[in-house]
Structure 1
Amino acid sequence: MTGDIPKVNVAVKDRILLHLLEEDEQADRYVVTAALTRPGIAEACAQHPPNVSRAMRTLLRKRMVSEHSRSIRGDDRKQKTWQLTDDGREEAKNRLSELSKLKVLIRDESNTLLEVEACEAPGRLQADLSVLQILLHAQHEGVLTFGDIRFGLVKKKSEDTDLPPPGRLKLLAGAHATYHTSPPKTRTVHGRVDAISGLDDWFESGSPCMVIHGIAGIGKSTLVANWLGSHMHEVPHLSVCWYPCQPWDKAVGLAVSLLHRFGVDDKHDPYQLMETLPLTPGAEFDVDSWRRRLLAYLTDAQAIRERFVGESGGPPPYWLIVLDDVHHVTTEARDLLGALLDISKKAPLRLVFISRTTLDVYDRRDVHTRDIVQELPLHGLSIDEITDWVETMDGASADPEDVHKMTGGHPLALELLEIYGQTTHGDWLKFLDEEIINHMPPEEHELLATLAVAESPVKWSKLSAAVNWEGNPPERLLTYGLLLELEEGMWLHEALRERFQREVGTASKKRKASLK
């Protein structure tokens, strides 16, 4: 998905031209603002000052800009400034016209992902942003979200175009569109008694964090959503934030949404949490300062009471943050996730991470000795669970053992069996390719592809030698049911085997030879 995001890359020269065009009203003035100085231009263009100096030398040679020494408002000394020449002004307008047509991604007020031209984005976001600011945010953040604090006050649309649009609303308006305050409606959970019991035990234990991990489509989000839905009836004033992570999400966007859920806004920010957020494109996010201030806020009972006074149920007993598909942001928001985990040890905050992979944002000792993190691996349904499900299907006559052998108990395959009556429906096979096989590490892919050419289970010693694998069988593949350890040896379910057997030719011949 990340590769599908429109790529925005604005050259340094273009950034400077667009910025100086925005400040063109200050041309020839004796006293100007810092926006025309090297530091001001560097900040507006998300560049280091030396890069600005190099670009300016090029623009000066081309007579696009002129250099002046002017008084700076608020400063006692004169500084070097730049402004556009007539040729530069014409070139800047041409570049603005072309760059305005670049496509950017935005999330509007209803959380709909839209691809629009850069010149249309300010109106859709109801924000007072220039084309340059839109492009720089798109380049550094990927997706622009309605109500992002860095975009300033949201401007309320007016139906009467004769009246100027009044300034309105508050910072963080629209951040609610990025998360949910209750779990999403999902399909019915079949089986999973042990997994539900594990979640119940975690909930009762008070442990700060639970990590549910498993392959795509195995039912992680469905399980948590159904479990959480029942618990919200038992604890009606539980404050939930269900945040569906996307491939384009950044640490700042996640931090903004969490602050909104914690009740921080322009009217209530006693610990100046908003000041920790980068307000300009490319600026660094001070995660440590954000962590310290948020911890102080969440542990300040008086501040929390003031924020939620008058609301139904009063202050929440604690916040439960569910980050769904958190594997999308583990690289981009690693420090933020670590900060959240640290806060959860000392504040009324609990975390549920739903991921396709195990996470490395915490220490293994947090799992095994400190009781800070609990992990719940989710794999395919058992034969007994498949039997119970098949018995409820109308007109289905599939043998549960055959279904388990063919699909490994993957819930999506069972759902398609229920709908279409086919044990290995084409949609599920396509899902296997796109969501599981294509995302495997090369060494795991080769191991399973080699096993797939065998006619019967293969002893681990023989299989590992064939693919030059050192050590024990891969725990991840065993846990997720992609690799089966039988008495006769290692094996894999038939549908997965069939997908790997499509890889014919020289590679297949080499794999067969390696097993002899």
Structure 2
Amino acid sequence: MPRHNTSRPGVQIRILLHLRDYADYRDRVEVPFALSQMGIANAVSIARSNVPRAIGSLKESGHVIERQAHITGVTRKRKAYFLTDEGVSLSDEVWESVSGKLVKTIQSGGIIQELSISELVSKSDIDLRHVDVLRYMDDDATIDLTSLNSELIERDLTKHIERQFSSSLADLPRVRKFFGREAELDKIANLLEEASTSIVVPGIAGIGKTALAAKVIERFTHRRPGEGRLTLIPGGDGGVAGPYGSNGTLGLSGRSPDSEPLDLLQHNHRGDEEESITRCD
């Protein structure tokens, strides 16, 4: 059966699917963290600051309401979001539509199987929701089940702050689309091949520094096993560049707040010499 219409549903559809699972909490005094702005951001994979805008039209259309509520695990009251009766009806329609979408699953043992989202959710050995499948599948509607487990899903859903740096490969953002930057990737790879101890990528927030770092790590994941750890420090404007740890460490950061703008790439060899590399503005 051909996979058609496998594009990822928009953020508002994902929000409806997420809130649908918590429809019974609308009149509760204390509600789960999942209904807070950060909880919604975690579930649908957007920045917390984008949640009010994403929910705005759903509120205007009468499908979602906002109120202050006691959030489990949070000391102060926070804004929480709930489906109205009309919102529940709409989310049911969305759930039915999304349930039939086909995804390609990569399973243990190299098994590749195409399933509808509803089949995947019902057959999975781990607790998956529709919105979880949409969060982890790539733009080709492929989801690698071998990299998922209940602990990872729980951690992703319960983050109380937006992570400012990645301390392990599991923390890296999932890069779904990456365009260009081939010259920069080659330069970084060449520097690491020459045994550089650190790479610094300064720049304002949102230009793709961490995505670039993730692509670099993809190149080296299977080529340099055990040769030190890889540390990402993705900062926007005002992020601090350094210190960068031990041998074999890769660091990416914004510029120091007290520094002048830097070239896009800089590297330190094993020694005190520092060399700037051309910008790619």
Q: Normalising to structure 2: TM-score of the pair?
A: 0.55
Offset, 1:152: 1.6
CA contact (8 A) 2:172 2:214 kept: no
Q: Match of 2:63, as an amino acid? A: M
1:335 aligned to 213, 217, 229, which one? 217
Q: Over residues 302-327 of structure 1, what are the superposed CA-to-partner deviations in whole Å (9 max), with x where a residue is unaligned?
A: xxxxxxxxxxxxxxxxxxxxxxxxxx
State the partner residue of 2:170.
277
Q: Over residues 257-300 of structure 1, what are the superposed CA-to-partner deviations in whole Å (9 max), with x where a residue is unaligned?
A: xxxxxxxxxxxxxxxxx9641499779xxxxxxxxxxxxxxxxx
CA contact (8 A) 2:17 2:131 kept: yes
For residues 130 and 174 of structure 2, the distance between their equivalents in structure 1, rounded to whole angstroms, comes to 13
State the partner residue of 1:96.
95
Offset, 1:137: 1.3
Q: Match of 1:47, as an amino acid? A: I
Distance 1:346 1:332, change over 3 A: closer
Q: How does 1:154-303 map to 2 (within 5 A)?
A: 276-278=169-171
2:67 pairs with 1:43: no
For residues 134 and 30 of structure 2, the distance between their equivalents in structure 1, rounded to whole angstroms, comes to 29
For residues 344 and 12 of structure 1, the distance between their equivalents in structure 2, rounded to whole angstroms, comes to 39
Q: How does 1:405-416 map to 2 (within 5 A)?
A: none
State the partner residue of 1:129.
128
Aligned residue for 1:96, secondary structure, equals helix
State the partner residue of 2:111.
112
Distance 1:142 1:277, change over 3 A: farther
Q: Over residues 33-68 of structure 1, what are the superposed CA-to-partner deviations in whole Å (9 max), with x where a residue is unaligned?
A: 221111110111101223321121101110001111
Distance 1:346 1:104, change over 3 A: closer
Offset, 1:332: 7.6
State the partner residue of 1:152.
150
For residues 134 and 54 of structure 1, the distance between their equivalents in structure 2, rounded to whole angstroms, comes to 23
CA contact (8 A) 1:8 1:104 kept: no
Distance 1:151 1:55, change over 3 A: same
CA contact (8 A) 1:106 1:146 kept: yes
Q: Match of 1:277, as an amino acid? A: A
CA contact (8 A) 1:44 1:280 kept: no
Q: Match of 1:54, as an amino acid? A: R
Aligned residue for 2:95, secondary structure, equals helix
Aligned residue for 1:120, secondary structure, equals helix
State the partner residue of 2:9.
10
CA contact (8 A) 1:12 1:45 kept: yes
For residues 25 and 50 of structure 1, the distance between their equivalents in structure 2, rounded to whole angstroms, comes to 26
Q: Match of 2:149, as an amino acid? A: F
Offset, 1:114: 1.4
Q: Over residues 4-56 of structure 1, what are the superposed CA-to-partner deviations in whole Å (9 max), with x where a residue is unaligned?
A: 99743111110111110012232211111221111110111101223321121
With CA pairs under 8 Å and 6+ residues apart, which has the higher RCO, 1 or 2?
Answer: 2
Q: Match of 1:100, as an amino acid? A: S
Q: Which runs of 5+ in 2 are unaligned?
A: 153-166, 177-212, 230-281
Offset, 1:337: 2.5
What percentage of residue pairs aligned between the two structures are identical?
Answer: 23
Q: Which runs of 5+ in 1 are unaligned?
A: 154-170, 172-273, 284-330, 348-516
For residues 146 and 9 of structure 2, the distance between their equivalents in structure 1, rounded to whole angstroms, comes to 24
Larger radius of gyration: 1
Higher helix share: 1
For residues 4 and 214 of structure 2, the distance between their equivalents in structure 1, rounded to whole angstroms, comes to 15
Q: Match of 2:38, as an amino acid? A: P
State the partner residue of 1:78.
77
State the partner residue of 2:254.
none
Q: Normalising to structure 1: TM-score of the pair?
A: 0.31
For residues 141 and 109 of structure 2, the distance between their equivalents in structure 1, rounded to whole angstroms, comes to 18
Q: Match of 1:132, as an amino acid? A: V
For residues 88 and 280 of structure 1, the distance between their equivalents in structure 2, rounded to whole angstroms, comes to 31
Q: Match of 1:152, as an amino acid? A: S
Distance 1:123 1:26, change over 3 A: same
Offset, 1:91: 0.1
Aligned residue for 2:138, secondary structure, equals helix
Offset, 1:130: 0.5
For residues 5 and 214 of structure 2, the distance between their equivalents in structure 1, rounded to whole angstroms, comes to 18
CA contact (8 A) 1:71 1:77 kept: yes
CA contact (8 A) 1:66 1:85 kept: yes
